[in-house]
Structure 1
Amino acid sequence: MGETSTSQAPVDEVDERAPLLGSSESEPNEPEAPAKRAGKWVARNAVLISVSLLVLAVIIILCIFFASYRPKKPTTKTALCLTPACVHASSEILYNLSPDYKNLDPCDDFEELVCGGWDERHDLRPDQGDAFTGTIMSENSQMLLRHILEAPYPEDSDHSSFSPAQLLQSVSSVDQQNFDKLKAAYDACMDEATINKAGVNPLLEVVHQIAELFPVTESVVHKRTPLLGKGKDDILDLLIFLYKLGLSPLVSLGAGADDKDPDVVVIQVSPPWRIGLPAKNYYEDPKILKEYKDTVAQVLENLYPDDKHESAALHADWMRSSGHGKIAARGKAIDSSNEIVEFEKQLAAASPNPEDAQDVTKYYNPMSLKDADSLTPQIQLANVLQKLAPLDYTINRLIIASPQYMNNLTQILFSTSRETLQTYFIWKVVQAFSSEIEADEIKPYTRFSNKLQGKDPDSSPERWRTCVGHVDDGLGWILSRFFVEKAFSEKAKNFGDQIVSDIKEMFIEKLKKTKWMDKSVVELAIEKVHKIVQKIGYPTKSPDIMDPPSLQHYYESVNITPSTFFQNTLSMSRLVVSLQWSSLGKPVDRNEWGMTVPTVNAYYNPPGNEIVFPAGIMQFPVFDVNVPQYLSYGAFGSVSGHELSHAFDSTGRHYDQNGNYTDWWTNSTVEGFKERAQCFVDQYAKYTVPGPDNKPLHVNGKLTLGENIADAGGVSAAFAAWQKRRAETPNQDLPGLEYFTQDQLFFVSYANWWCGKSRKETAINRIYTDPHAPKWARILGTMANSRDFKDSFKCKNREPVCELW
């Protein structure tokens, strides 16, 4: 500022400097008028102004040009997925939708909107009582398993990269031996000629062993021998014999984790899961009871014809030559059937209602062996248990699910004759193994069972379906190994882990916002979520299905021959029982799975605090790594959230973060839960199906409470998990489904999983016994309880009917 430059400044700096610095002359000039100064400035800079205006014009023109040709932002229109997987998924949804879906209000009847087409496209086979999307998935898996079982052992070139034969070349011969065992069991089941030729004889072998172990005195008709008479101790050997075959007459015995000490295996005693008829309600229906009695009479008459029957003499000779004990002398078969059914009726009346049988606060009753044995002295419970348990195991305590039932059983047995009991035990064997026998003698019971479910009385599944199920029941882990190779992948397992982990994260966020739970309870609940073990796809321990030697050792005791189907079945049953009882005295094996890999299902185990998802349920359309994620999050994600929500439902809430049955909720939190849970009870009790007399039969809101709570929590957590994922990675749209937003398709995918239909009789049976609400109610009730659903479809009333999380 103090110096005077004698050099001429650049043209573009002259006026910039002038206002700030004075002239080089010694005396200042007089100031000029503004207009005059501006005119001089323009004159001096005319060229500069012209150039600047030209540049500005060019810039404006270029901006307009590029703006008009600039591609639209990706957010204005989502990309369309046209891969085969997406086209398949889209077509499946479109086929299932009601043809009139655009004119239906989703807020009024979402089930009809999503499933109207499914109902039209799927008819129940004569041998089916009901079916839903999960049934179709299961049958697709069955078809795959059939192809595996009817094909030769895959050669090296046929193995996928996801195979133990690739991972462990040194044990491929063991893998083939396992496969051969699998195939022999399937082939024996498929050999209908041999099975038909054997007829009822394999079953009679078991029946005659009952007569040998628990004989009765040949007596004049109507004379009855009391149980506590001479030879009363023989019931001990009979019960042990039946229990080792997997039967549960009078009481159900087993071993499992102690709810209050989940690392310890304890003996559990409960009423039989099924007395005779599928539900105790049926014993109050005179029409069904008469049909049942007539059925029992027909089967008994077929098995043991009286003296007028042409085969009676041959049967008596066979009995004597075989050295078997005596079977009760009978008058008319209908008399014996009346006695059996009346005995069962008393047992059913003594049994707890289904909702109480699943209530841990009612079924957890620890007792000493001495106290438990005193409840039913006639069946010598202590002696039975000591014969079943390992020799080195000392029985200190056991869990009695229903002491009241045990007390009632004492009174019932006191007034029941040996003849009636023997016939009852024989009838239990007939019921248990009727599906393993092809004989006219058993057909009356098969027809009755079918009719009770609304099926065609003379229908039966295709033989290959029966045999796939037979192999899955008896050699399931070997079958799982070959299923995984064909139907699963590492990519699928990782995606499943991702979904379940996302669900856990979102459930924690929901717990943090829950107002009715005390802060201390929320903190423990969050810890419980963190500790939930997630098992995805298949087990790698106990047994490791990817390790052929492990599988071979697991099934070492199962004897399979290609010509003895019934004996194969008994051998399989004995293994299941022996594995259970051999667990006594050992820590709980937390690596075990309760479902084989092809199973289309999932579960939460409270004492183990674990959620388990077999690969069977991780299949299209519930789960697919190759389609937009809102489909998998809507279906499989909701299933995952459902199982996780069980950790805090009416049962799971009683177990803490370590799986211990304990009171870890504060009183105010319990009251808050009960108030909201009652809402679910009342809501679902309003749903009905046509009853036996065509009057409305209401859903049991108490029996289905835990599942209904889990449905609501599952969808809520899954939707939140998907929203977070879509924010990170936008999903593509599906072709032909432009009518729906991606949010809406999330719920369409959820409901699509539950599309199904049921025969009236099967629906009634499920109301009596099933802790799940009808499939259609699981759609309507869950959507009514979903704020996210109502927001997505812009329903007038956005408030959930019932809400916990």
Structure 2
Amino acid sequence: MNAWSGEDGDVMGPTVTRAGSAKPNTPPLKNGNDLRESGYLIAVGSRTSRFRRKYRKRMPVIIIIVIFILILIAFIVISILYALAVHRKPIKLCESTECLRSAVNLALSMDTSANPCDNFYQYACGNWASDHPRPDAYQSYDWFQDKQIKVYFLVRDFLNRNTSHQPKAVQQAKDMYNGCMDTDTLDKRGLKPVIAILETLGLPPYPTYINATDDVDYSTYAFDWLDTVIKVKTQIGMDVLIGFDIFTDLKNSTIFKLMMGSPEATNPFPSTYRDRKRHGKRTLKDLVNFIEKTSTRDLIHKIERRSDKSEDLDEKIAQIHKLFYAELMKLFVVEGGGTKNSKLTEVELDENIIEAANEYFEAYSDIYELESSNSTEMDDDDDLNIPEYTVDEIQAHTDAVVENNNGTATPIWKKYLEGIFNVSNTVLDFEKDKILVSDEDLKYMSLMAAYVAKTPPVVLELYIWVKVVEVMSVHTTTELRTLFQRAYDQTHGHKSITPRSVQCANAVNDMLGMAVSYGIADPHFFNVTKPKIITMIDELKDSLAHLVGQARWMDDNTKIATYQKIIEMKSLVGFPDWLLEEGRLEEYYEGIDIDAEKHLENIININQVKTKKVLNMFREPNNITWATDPTEVNAYHTFRENTITVPMVMLQHPFFDLGLDSLNYGSLGTVLGHEITHGFDSVGRHFDKNGNMLPWWSNSTIDSFVNMTRCFIDQYSEYYLPELDKHVDGKNTLAENIADNGGLREALAALKHHLRKREPEPKLPGFEHMTPEQLFFLSYGNLWCGVSTKDALKSDLEDAHTPHLFRAQGVLQNNEDFAKAFHCRPGSNMNPGKRCIIF
């Protein structure tokens, strides 16, 4: 039978068969309950029910085991974390004011959406322009100019402050500032101060060419242009037609030499505008830029008209200048009494003035062409050798050129030099005192002599008159300043109004920079800041020496000479040691007289004292001197003295005192490394440890060096500015590019050495994820943040420095450590397959 059967067969279990005798004789039961009640159904069940009973018995044990395991795992994890916490120091943040300021500046400048391996300049500087709007007075704006503006404000505030017990020179600086600010007195005096100075120079109140009285016979008019040029040089320190200066002898840095050529000091008066000076390729200026000093960034410039430098003046610009000169002359005709005695109608007088303006512009264009004709490119293998001549040899050469051009030769050069030195204590020996004149400058001097021999005296007077009045008048009345401002704005396409207080602070800083520096110098500098900078410079020099030791392109003898030059390299840091010593400032400015009511005369008096001082030092031994004032935002390498100069304002934010060594070395460290490397770049290699231009590299080393420079020339020549559709001139910028690349490599090596000797530096807030190396490179990139107009970029392409964008990226593309620090994949923009390395 089927136990507990259903309609379709067994339900609960297999079929159970019983023997017949075992069958109970009982009636069938209706359901399972009845069976259980009767005791018939005993322990009848399925395998599932048995499993469930066993599972219920084991469940608590399993749960206990799982909980135990989890507790054990948690205990192990907590123990591990505790052990790590015990042995790992917490992240130390730098919370100083300097670090917080640096963190904010970096964060505001960065564009973190950019890939640092693709465009590091965008990554480091992408938002700098929006956080630092360019002032209208500037065509370009960067950290250097931002700092210089702050320096002018600092100078202004000091000059406005009432102080007592200051040296005489400091009080004179304040008097000069007050005289500049007293526009009421300047307007009241009018043009009389200029006219009085013109008379001492042998010039009339207004150009004779205008012929206001209508009684001048041009054919018989006499004018001694040479005598006036001499007076202009000695009385206001300005070069017109002839350039003259005293330089250290190239082959013996202990003595001075005379040098002549095209005009250089074309405006010895204080700067009014902050435009970047265009760097021409004239030999005398080359010596100033490449031999006298090489700057990190030229920011303080003498005023120079765009028309004076542009070779592609369009007619509109020319007309603006002609109108300016006509208005300038008209004011002097009125002030000089020309209208009172004139026999001409007002219309006729105006026509004469316009004709004079046109004639001046023609003469200026002619002479500019003469100056431009001596442009020259300096090749890497150019030995910078400048010939020496006696004055008679120069005269003979120029006479021949004059006569070949159908002119009448006249003695010029001996008379000029005698006239110049008449205001000094020096007497020249024309047999022994030879003059340095480059081939290009000798060509200019000859062509200039031929030009003046054939030019009517009345035109020469007109040319000299305008050149002189142009630089003086802007320091007089409001009317003339407005006239200058309007012409400047029209030719530059923008308004550039600078507050009068800043203009005057700048003027005083230009003329009495050491006196101003005394007033704002930190007396704790010698004990706090200077030791840090000296340490940094020593580490940079050690790093360069180590890199030289690794260089395979240098032979051993050249390496030894290089080590000696590095050791002998001197540093001028902050400000002169004597600056704060009692009585030394008065000695430095001896002979200067300042009258708070005579602003123009103050400037001229200072120029006269400076000119005499330079002339008097001709027979004196050469002593190491500062290449700039301590208030200039720049740094210099002086080849002829084997010296680097670092003004005190470069030792402040945003270049130094940034909170962390990695930031300081990435900014100021690379600047100092740049200047140190200049001693061994394409020009610096010509000058030995004593600053003498003597061969000290072996020929094989020179050949290897020249071959390696081709890599830099090719690399930087590929950099392209689409807005101008022009490339960088890799040859023109070679020396600066070598210095940039070497400077960064030296600074990074110095930083690593510096950090190894100290505790790990703390993290920069907001940049905790960055290593010291990454912060170093970020600081370097941030150093070159800036914004420029299209016109400024044009000037950049003519400068000896590469535009900021490529200054930053080019150096980092050549640095393998950068690619490692930012994990740039091979072949990416910032990790190219080819790198240019010299040092």
Matched, 1:537 2:574: yes
Which residue pairs with 1:121 in the alignment? 131
Query: What CA distance in whole angstroms lies between the structure 2 residues aligned with 1:223 and 1:319?
Result: 12
TM-score of the superposed pair, with normalisation by structure 1: 0.79
Matched, 1:342 2:365: yes
Query: What CA distance in whole angstroms lies between the structure 1 residues aligned with 2:196 and 2:317?
Result: 25
Matched, 1:455 2:478: no
Letter in 2 for 1:426: W
Q: 1:203 to 1:290 in 2, by over 3 A?
A: farther
Query: What CA distance in whole angstroms lies between the structure 2 residues aligned with 1:105 and 1:379?
Result: 67
Which residue pairs with 2:715 in the alignment? 683
Residue aligned with 1:703, SS = coil
Greater shift after overlay, 386-395 or 789-798?
Answer: 386-395
Residue aligned with 1:471, SS = helix
Letter in 1 for 2:516: L
Letter in 2 for 1:137: K
Residue aligned with 1:305, SS = helix
For residues 120-143 of structure 1, the C-alpha deviation after alignment (integer angstroms, 9 at most, x for no partner) is 112222211211011122222222
Which residue pairs with 1:27 in the alignment? none
Task: For residue 292 of structure 1, report the CA deviation from its aligned partner.
Answer: 4.5
Q: How does 1:608-623 map to 2 (within 5 A)?
A: 608-623=641-656
Query: What CA distance in whole angstroms lies between the structure 2 residues aligned with 1:279 and 1:687?
Result: 20
Query: What CA distance in whole angstroms lies between the structure 2 residues aligned with 1:224 and 1:679?
Result: 64
TM-score of the superposed pair, with normalisation by structure 2: 0.76
For residues 97-118 of structure 1, the C-alpha deviation after alignment (integer angstroms, 9 at most, x for no partner) is 12xx1x3221221111111121
Greater shift after overlay, 578-587 or 335-344?
Answer: 335-344
Q: 1:745 to 1:134 in 2, by over 3 A?
A: same
Which residue pairs with 1:314 in the alignment? 337
Q: How does 1:766-805 map to 2 (within 5 A)?
A: 766-768=796-798, 770-797=799-826, 798=831, 801-805=835-839
Q: How does 1:470-549 map to 2 (within 5 A)?
A: 470-485=507-522, 488=525, 490-540=527-577, 544-549=578-583
Task: For residue 639 of structure 1, report the CA deviation from its aligned partner.
Answer: 0.6
Letter in 1 for 2:141: A
Residue aligned with 2:435, SS = strand
Which residue pairs with 2:392 in the alignment? 370
Query: What CA distance in whole angstroms lies between the structure 2 residues aligned with 1:205 and 1:296?
Result: 26
For residues 645-690 of structure 1, the C-alpha deviation after alignment (integer angstroms, 9 at most, x for no partner) is 0001111010011111022212221111111212222222233446
Unaligned regions of 5+ residues in structure 2, if any?
A: 1-74, 268-276, 281-305, 344-350, 400-409
Letter in 1 for 2:671: V
Query: What CA distance in whole angstroms lies between the structure 1 residues aligned with 2:398 and 2:208?
Result: 21
CA-based RMSD of the aligned residues comes to 3.4
Which residue pairs with 1:604 in the alignment? 637
Query: What CA distance in whole angstroms lies between the structure 1 residues aligned with 2:752 and 2:193?
Result: 59
Q: 1:655 to 1:284 in 2, by over 3 A?
A: closer
Query: What CA distance in whole angstroms lies between the structure 2 residues aligned with 1:771 and 1:484?
Result: 32
Task: For residue 631 of structure 1, report the CA deviation from its aligned partner.
Answer: 0.7
For residues 560-607 of structure 1, the C-alpha deviation after alignment (integer angstroms, 9 at most, x for no partner) is 1111111111112222222211110010121x1121112111100011
Please point out which of 681, 688, 704 is paired with 1:656.
688
Kept in 1, the 8 Å contact 2:326–2:353? The answer is no
Matched, 1:565 2:599: yes
Please point out which of 88, 98, 101 is paired with 2:101.
88
Q: 1:762 to 1:448 in 2, by over 3 A?
A: farther
Matched, 1:392 2:424: no
Provide the aligned length of Structure 1 versus Structure 2: 697
Q: 1:453 to 1:649 in 2, by over 3 A?
A: farther
Letter in 2 for 1:333: A
Query: What CA distance in whole angstroms lies between the structure 1 residues aligned with 2:215 and 2:820?
Result: 71
Query: What CA distance in whole angstroms lies between the structure 2 residues aligned with 1:279 and 1:529?
Result: 29
Letter in 1 for 2:437: I
For residues 715-738 of structure 1, the C-alpha deviation after alignment (integer angstroms, 9 at most, x for no partner) is 000000000111111211100012
Query: What CA distance in whole angstroms lies between the structure 2 residues aligned with 1:735 and 1:361?
Result: 51
Letter in 2 for 1:421: L
Query: What CA distance in whole angstroms lies between the structure 1 residues aligned with 2:500 and 2:307?
Result: 30
Unaligned regions of 5+ residues in structure 1, if any?
A: 1-60, 155-172, 321-327
Q: 1:285 to 1:125 in 2, by over 3 A?
A: closer
Matched, 1:595 2:628: yes
Q: Give the percent of matched residue pairs that are identical in Structure 1 and Structure 2.
A: 23
Which residue pairs with 2:700 in the alignment? 668
Query: What CA distance in whole angstroms lies between the structure 1 residues aligned with 2:505 and 2:342?
Result: 35
Greater shift after overlay, 792-801 or 649-658?
Answer: 792-801
Residue aligned with 2:436, SS = strand
For residues 729-770 of structure 1, the C-alpha deviation after alignment (integer angstroms, 9 at most, x for no partner) is 1211100012422101101111211111112122213323x2
Query: What CA distance in whole angstroms lies between the structure 2 residues aligned with 1:363 and 1:427?
Result: 36
Task: For residue 413 of structure 1, report the CA deviation from its aligned partner.
Answer: 2.9
Q: 1:71 to 1:299 in 2, by over 3 A?
A: same
Residue aligned with 1:587, SS = coil
Greater shift after overlay, 295-304 or 245-254?
Answer: 295-304
Query: What CA distance in whole angstroms lies between the structure 1 residues aligned with 2:309 and 2:521?
Result: 46
Task: For residue 291 of structure 1, report the CA deviation from its aligned partner.
Answer: 3.8
Query: What CA distance in whole angstroms lies between the structure 2 residues aligned with 1:316 and 1:686?
Result: 60
Letter in 2 for 1:335: N
Q: 1:713 to 1:611 in 2, by over 3 A?
A: same
Task: For residue 312 of structure 1, report the CA deviation from its aligned partner.
Answer: 8.3
Task: For residue 434 of structure 1, report the CA deviation from its aligned partner.
Answer: 4.8
Letter in 2 for 1:367: Y
Please point out which of 183, 187, 194 is paired with 1:196.
187
Residue aligned with 2:93, SS = coil
Which residue pairs with 1:412 in the alignment? 451
Matched, 1:736 2:769: no
Please point out which of 214, 231, 239 is paired with 1:248.
239
Query: What CA distance in whole angstroms lies between the structure 1 residues aligned with 2:211 and 2:82?
Result: 105
Query: What CA distance in whole angstroms lies between the structure 1 residues aligned with 2:618 and 2:456?
Result: 34
For residues 280-304 of structure 1, the C-alpha deviation after alignment (integer angstroms, 9 at most, x for no partner) is 7978978625345324432332243
Q: 1:260 to 1:635 in 2, by over 3 A?
A: same
Which residue pairs with 1:703 in the alignment? 732
Kept in 2, the 8 Å contact 1:216–1:418? The answer is no
Residue aligned with 2:256, SS = strand
Matched, 1:555 2:580: no
Residue aligned with 1:583, SS = helix
Please point out which of 769, 780, 783 is paired with 1:750.
780
Which residue pairs with 1:130 in the alignment? 140
Matched, 1:719 2:714: no
Query: What CA distance in whole angstroms lies between the structure 2 residues aligned with 1:622 and 1:610?
Result: 20
Please point out which of 653, 675, 694 is paired with 1:643.
675
Q: 1:200 to 1:802 in 2, by over 3 A?
A: farther
Which residue pairs with 2:659 in the alignment? 627
Kept in 2, the 8 Å contact 1:236–1:380? The answer is no
Kept in 1, the 8 Å contact 2:244–2:261? The answer is yes
Q: How does 1:60-459 map to 2 (within 5 A)?
A: 68-69=82-83, 71-73=85-87, 78-98=91-111, 101=112, 103-153=113-163, 173=165, 175-212=166-203, 234-273=225-264, 288-305=313-330, 311=334, 314-315=337-338, 332-353=355-376, 355-356=377-378, 361-362=383-384, 364-376=386-398, 380-389=412-421, 390-395=425-430, 396-401=433-438, 402-441=441-480, 443-456=482-495, 459=496
Task: For residue 198 of structure 1, report the CA deviation from its aligned partner.
Answer: 3.2
Residue aligned with 2:263, SS = coil
For residues 153-193 of structure 1, the C-alpha deviation after alignment (integer angstroms, 9 at most, x for no partner) is 16xxxxxxxxxxxxxxxxxx5x3433321211111111122
